Chains A and B, each alone.
Chain A
């Protein structure tokens, strides 16, 4: 958010001596509460034998990584990587479709995009997983991957389409007027002037959506796709440390996603100057065609 809005520090004055003393006490009390919750959690873990060092130190040896976690991570990244590319293509096609001059193209693309944004990804995954098995077009071993990628593409592609559309709409009108004035057609203006600027303005939001894609690959666990969560679960049942394995898998996701989020924030700060649109770090809301 730009200047002129409330950020956390203007809510309170620079502290005077009395406030500072009181703050120290509140700070100490709050820290104690946080520590107490931590101690309670550790005690609970210890009482159930979950703090047994061998359950944790096994992650310092290469075996669980080579046999389970890394292949799982590869599965997660493969599904996410393919889905990112296909979603981008889907989003560009349907985003341009929603900006088309032909009313029926706009209507069809709008319906498709709104539909897939309203249907849970898991529902689509299960449908493709069971439905494609009937077609016998794919190898049975490929089915879970295909289902994961298809479901992620339809949902996230629809979000990307919305990003393209709202990105173009948020550009100043002068951009299109200038393009038309120098003799470009409407389609050329979209392709050469508006969409490139819209994409740059939407880059941070696109980066945040990558986090969503990566997280949603974990749904593949439910339809037997061998990804990180599935690997952690199998590791946990073989070593008897399911709780620890899930924590490690979650930490891997957190590290990757945190890096992506930071990247999104960095991009938001950088790209501002290269577009006439306003850079935003969030995906547009699910609003049923309001004709903005």
Chain B
């Protein structure tokens, strides 16, 4: 790359706020991640609870949401919830789209958080639950003191995968009119089609830089926290 191209490249990136666009994706990921973790944990508790109606509601939710494309959910949030039902999450136009996208991302990924936690429960040997019951703990106490602490440690790796998927899926918010990285990439390529490869690899690298450390961190955490058996 000669100096002229490099100058064009830097001017292109001073003209467009690439870091700002990625910041939107990180915010989407953070807020949707927290919401999905809360909702997903509630769903997981429902699915392992002794109450049949709660179990049914939990598994129905997971089956429905997990099998729907995220794009439909985001489009539904904008065109359905906001456009048809008039559900507005903010007076500000942009903030409203942002929050609707967070809602869509959260309800979709909550189903996967629930499955990750359940797979964590599956790593706990049956003897643990039997021992807990043998010393007289009920469902609540056994779950809180014996099963869930081990289950969370066993669920770190699958939860990390959900977080990575959520980070990448935050780009789908583009379908809900949120100005984020994939939308900016499109605008930049349309503006400067001659440096399309440079633009694509910059954005791709941005995601690699976010996603790869996440993967490494959750892998090492899941190893450090693994319950020795």
Contacts and interface: CB of A to CB of B under 8 A. Distances in A.
B211 A118 contact: yes
Given A130-B196, A219-B71, A11 B160 contact: no
B173 to A, nearest CB: 10
A50 B138 CA distance: 46
A144 to B, nearest CB: 14
Nearest to A13: B133
A187 interface: no
B122 interface: yes
A30 B53 contact: yes
B28 interface: no
B67 A286 contact: no
Nearest to A258: B67
A216 B168 CA distance: 12
Interface stretch (A90-98, A178-186, A241-249): A241-249
A66 interface: no
Nearest to B55: A8
A282 B158 CA distance: 10
A11 B157 contact: no
Contact of B172 (A6, A122, A236, A286): A122
Contact of B171 (A120, A217, A246, A254): A120
Given A6-B122, A288-B215, A250 B200 contact: no
Interface size band for A: 35 or more
A118 B208 contact: yes
A126 interface: yes
Contacts of B84: 48, 50, 242-243
Interface string A211-245: 10001111101100000010011001000001100
Contact of A123 (B54, B55, B119, B185): B185
Interface stretch (B6-14, B34-42, B74-82, B93-101): B74-82
B164 A218 contact: no
A120 B169 contact: yes
Chain A interface main SS type: helix
B69 interface: yes
Nearest to B143: A11
Interface in B20-34: none
Given A11-B142, A258-B67, A122 B72 contact: no
B27 to A, nearest CB: 16
B176 to A, nearest CB: 10
B196 A131 contact: yes
B211 A286 contact: yes
Contacts of A120: 168-169, 171, 182, 207
B75 A246 contact: yes
A222 B171 CA distance: 11
A257 B219 CA distance: 29
A8 B174 CA distance: 39
A222 B71 contact: yes
Contact of A23 (B50, B57, B121, B186): B50
A250 B48 contact: no
A229 B75 contact: yes
A27 B51 contact: yes
B226 interface: no
Contacts of B197: 131
B130 interface: yes
A185 to B, nearest CB: 34
Contacts of A115: 204, 208
B130 A10 contact: yes
Nearest to B194: A134
A254 B64 contact: yes
Nearest to B223: A290
B182 A285 contact: no
A221 B76 CA distance: 13
B47 interface: yes
Contacts of B125: 4-6
B18 interface: no
Given A134-B196, A243-B84, A6 B68 contact: no
A50 B69 CA distance: 23
Contacts of B149: none
Contact of A285 (B51, B73, B161, B196): B161
A197 interface: no
Given A8-B47, A288-B219, 16 more contacts: A3-B126, A5-B124, A5-B126, A6-B122, A6-B128, A10-B126, A11-B139, A26-B54, A34-B57, A114-B212, A118-B212, A120-B171, A134-B196, A222-B71, A254-B68, A286-B161
7 contacts: A8-B55, A130-B196, A215-B67, A229-B72, A233-B79, A250-B69, A253-B67
Please name the 7 residue pairs, one residue from A and one from B, whose CB atoms are nearest each other, closest first: A218-B69, A257-B67, A218-B71, A120-B168, A215-B69, A12-B139, A127-B200
